[in-house]
Amino acid sequence: MSQDHQTLGEFIIEKQNEFKYSTGELSKLINAIRLAGKIVNHEVNKAGLIDIIGGSGTINVQGEKQQKLDILAHEIFVHTLSNREIVCGIASEEEDHFLPINSLDNKNQNKYIVLIDPLDGSSNIDVNVSVGTIFSIYRRISPIGKPVTMDDFLQPGNKQVAAGYIIYGTSTMMVYTTGHGVNGFTLNPAIGTYYLSHPNMEFPPDGNIYSINEGNYTHFPNGVKKYIKYCQMEEGNRPYTSRYIGSLVTDFHRNMIKGGIYIYPKHNQLGTGKLRLLYECNPLAFLAEQAGGIASNGFNRILDIQPTELHQRTPFFCGSKNMVAKAEEFMGAYK
């Protein structure tokens, strides 16, 4: 990446200046996520060495206890965000309850809360497949000066102020939106700086990739079964090609660049989807819409769902707008 490319730090400052009355709080928060992401990236990159320096539950050569990477990523994000005193609460896929953040000097004065999936797809780490961190930022609705409440976290996705992900892949990227389009930054690991590599990312309106775990076929709703057959039919630009990594951020990222649809439908035996509305679906839905795509539960817009619990799950249909619209058509026709 040449020096002509804008760095993420420069981009954040430039964008902050575009908001007339901005206090810089959101910029600081995104900066903290950028930093935590770099630390997690460093840990993820060492994953293959764990067998050499000591596996989970053992003591490594430095005498430190090894931790599972998803727990470690959770702790890195929570520490980085709470030490910098820029959020009033955090909810993580790795914790049952939300964490109120109160600092002694700055008692509950911060206005943002963060929801985070610290290391999504972590079962892929053992086989050296890309994983990601997903984050979602809201303005609190409870009064400043008081501890945060559950209602601050149970806001519909359409209230998000910012959302994004960090993908720890062949290269590490941070992709985020503050509601003005989607931009992607690639980390130059030699100097620890992210550069704007993917400005104004957009889902192509059509694509030829469908991403779904077809091993669960018998448990899928009829609409999804019929849609899969439609994807496989020879007509126009079909059959589509099937690509499923099983690492949500990675599947989403590829589909956004190439055009495609990701589906994690309701599992008939479980009665729900697998993915979490607050930590996974809402932030990716915000990004998808900002990139000209669609995110739905098969019938309705993800961002309009009123959450009732922190770890709520939902079916998820997300990607290129014409493809998701077609899948929704099948869902409606074969209930």
Give the residues lining the site for ligand AHM (CB under 6 A): 93, 117, 120-122, 213, 246-248, 274
Q: How far is the CB of 100 from Mg ion (least distance, A)?
A: 23
Q: Residues 58-97: x/- map of binding to Mg ion (CB under 5 A)?
A: ----------------------------------------
Nearest Cα neighbor of 86 from 166, 162, 191, 157 is: 162
Q: Smaller CB distance to ligand AHM: residue 31 or 319? A: 319
Q: Smaller CB distance to Mg ion: residue 8 or 163? A: 163
Q: Can you tell me the distance from the alpha carbon of 26 to that of 11, in angstroms, rounded to the nearest whole number?
A: 13
Give the chain's end-to-end CA distance (angstroms, integer): 50
Q: Which stretch binds Mg ion (CB under 5 A): 26-34, 48-56, 95-103, 117-125?
A: 117-125
Q: Smaller CB distance to ligand AHM: residue 252 or 286? A: 252
Q: Which does 243 bind (CB under 5 to 8 A by kind): ligand AHM, Mg ion, none?
A: none
What single letter denotes the amino acid at residue 102? N
Q: Can you tell me the distance from the alpha carbon of 229 to that of 11, in angstroms, rounded to the nearest whole number?
A: 44
Residue 130 region, left (φ>0) first, then alpha (ψ -120 to 50), else beta? Answer: beta
Q: Smaller CB distance to Mg ion: residue 120 or 152? A: 120
Q: Smaller CB distance to ligand AHM: residue 38 or 74? A: 74
Q: Which does 55 bind (CB under 5 to 8 A by kind): Mg ion, ligand AHM, none?
A: none
Nearest Cα neighbor of 285 from 245, 244, 314 is: 314
Q: How far is the CB of 120 from ligand AHM (least distance, A)?
A: 5
Query: Under a CB-based contact definition with an 8 Å cutoff, are residues 176 and 189 in contact?
Result: no
Q: Smaller CB distance to ligand AHM: residue 204 or 273? A: 273
Greatest alpha-carbon span in the chain: 65
Q: Smaller CB distance to ligand AHM: residue 125 or 137? A: 125
Q: How far is the CB of 335 from Mg ion (least distance, A)?
A: 28
Q: Which does 122 bind (CB under 5 to 8 A by kind): ligand AHM, Mg ion, none?
A: ligand AHM
Q: How far is the CB of 121 from ligand AHM (least distance, A)?
A: 4
Is 120 one of the binding residues for Mg ion (CB under 5 A)? Answer: yes
Q: How far is the CB of 279 from ligand AHM (least distance, A)?
A: 8
Q: How far is the CB of 278 from Mg ion (least distance, A)?
A: 11
Q: Which does 31 bind (CB under 5 to 8 A by kind): Mg ion, ligand AHM, none?
A: none
DSSP 114-163: EEEEEEETGGGGGGT--EEEEEEEEE--SPTTS---HHHHS--GGG-SEE
CA dist 310 to 5, 251, 275, Å? 39, 24, 12
Which residues are CB-neighbours of 243 under 8 A, at least 6 positions away?
A: 209, 210, 211, 251, 254, 260
Query: Under a CB-based contact definition with an 8 Å cutoff, are residues 181 and 200 in contact?
Result: yes
Q: How far is the CB of 8 from Mg ion (least distance, A)?
A: 24
Q: Smaller CB distance to Mg ion: residue 93 or 328? A: 93
Decide: helix, strand or coil at residue 27: helix
Q: Which does 152 bind (CB under 5 to 8 A by kind): Mg ion, ligand AHM, none?
A: none
Q: Can you tell me the distance from the alpha carbon of 224 to that of 298, in angstroms, rounded to the nearest whole number?
A: 9
Q: How far is the CB of 92 from ligand AHM (least distance, A)?
A: 11
Which parts of this chain interact with Mg ion (CB under 5 A)?
117, 120
